[in-house]
Amino acid sequence: MVVLSQPPALEHCSLIKTSKPTCVFTGIPVIDLRDPEAKTLIVKACEEYGFFKLINHGVPMEFMTRLEAEALSFFNLPQSDKDKATPFGYGSNKIGPNGDVGWIEYLLVNTNPQLTSLKTLSENFCYAVNDYILAVKRLAFEVVEIMADGLEIEPRNVLSRLLRDEKSDSCFRLNHYPPCPQLQALSGRNLIGFGEHTDPQIISILRSNNTSGLQICLTDRTWVSVPPDQTSFFISVGDALQVMTNGRLRSVRHRVLIDSMKSRVSMIYFGGPPMSEKIVALPCLMAKGEESLYKEFTWWEYKTCAYNSRLGANRLGLFEKTANASL
């Protein structure tokens, strides 16, 4: 069993009450990237859920399992050794600077420019991170271009060019949620690993081990559990893409709950635009006379707003043109 060397006290972590077990949701769209209808299915899934599972994605399973093994080796180091990586992206418990906490430890790295050696990490770990990121970046480019085809955006690289840009503000995060045997004593409460939020970027590509915990919020505000699948990717719409499609595609609110016996490892690529990029509804998606739902802002402005707010805040609400617009 892999545990934190110095796990946080439960009283300092976030708990939620659960009156009944959250249902496992079997309706998550599953899309084969090689399906001729993928462009239509991806758009439909992003309109209805802001979330879908991607299969036949082309990323070698070896890249996933190797990185997972290296990540677990790192997270199982003594806490003093892990703390040496803090200046290079390691953190635990605290999520942002505004009081949000979770039963979590993580590594966060920028993916642009090309990732170089991460000090204090093993050479094998660095190779595994680099190989995985390069493969998932290529997948992200392909997914947003297929998405553009489905939205009938011209040119089809309107979205992918932002991720390909050498100044793209994309990042990669490895999350480790240790098991929590103390959960048995919480009687009707669940321990939060990562609190509810939407991702600010354009698109997120997530892969996890075969441990449950990820939940998404449906349009009726019901929370449902996502069945784990360690061979597939889960794709999420981010806030920036919601704005660029003028609300047609919706960023998905999601969270992670802790398992009492099994550790969860997730790896997420967050595809973001350059800092100076203006985020605004794409004219080619606007009907004649249609008004933009959001004020124009740069990615730097939105990222700063997100960083300075609580995790679960409605960050896009500050940029809506009408106060009563609902998300």
Q: How far apart are CA 193 and CA 162, in angstroms?
A: 31
Number of domains in the chain: 1
Which one, of 11, 7, 19, 28, lies nearest residue 225 by Cα?
A: 28
**pTM score:** 0.91
If DSSP codes are grouped into helix, strand and coil, which group holds residue 71?
A: helix
Write out the catalytic residue numbers. 264
Return contacts of 111-114, CB within 8 angstroms, 24+ apart: 111/137, 111/168, 111/170, 111/171, 111/172, 111/269, 112/165, 112/166, 112/167, 112/168, 112/169, 112/170, 113/166
In Å, what is the CA distance from 78 to each residue of 3, 83, 177? 10, 9, 16
User: Radius of gyration over alpha carbons of the chain, in Å?
Assistant: 19
Distance, CA of 118 to CA of 121 (rounded, Å): 6
Check which CATH number belongs to the domain holding 60 and give it. 2.60.120.330
From residue 275, give the alpha-carbon distance in Å to each of 50, 111, 156, 296. 24, 14, 22, 14
Return per-residue pLDDT of the chain as tens, 327 residues: 333 444 445 555 666 665 455 678 889 999 999 999 999 999 999 999 999 999 999 999 999 999 999 999 999 999 999 998 887 789 999 998 888 999 999 999 888 755 545 666 888 998 999 999 999 999 999 999 999 999 999 999 999 999 999 999 999 999 999 998 876 656 667 889 999 999 999 999 999 999 999 999 999 999 999 999 999 999 999 999 999 999 999 999 999 999 888 999 999 999 999 999 999 999 999 988 899 999 999 999 999 999 999 999 999 999 999 754 444
Secondary structure percentages of the chain, helix, strand, coil, to 5: 30, 25, 45
Domain that residue 106 falls in: 18-312
What span, in angstroms and rounded, lies between the C-alpha atoms of 164 and 232? 23
Distance of alpha carbon 15 from alpha carbon 270, whole angstroms? 27
| 179 assigned to some structural domain | yes
Domain membership of residue 277 (yes or no) is yes
* Nearby residues of 77 by Cβ (< 8 Å), 6 or more positions away: 5
Specify if 319 maps to a domain.
no
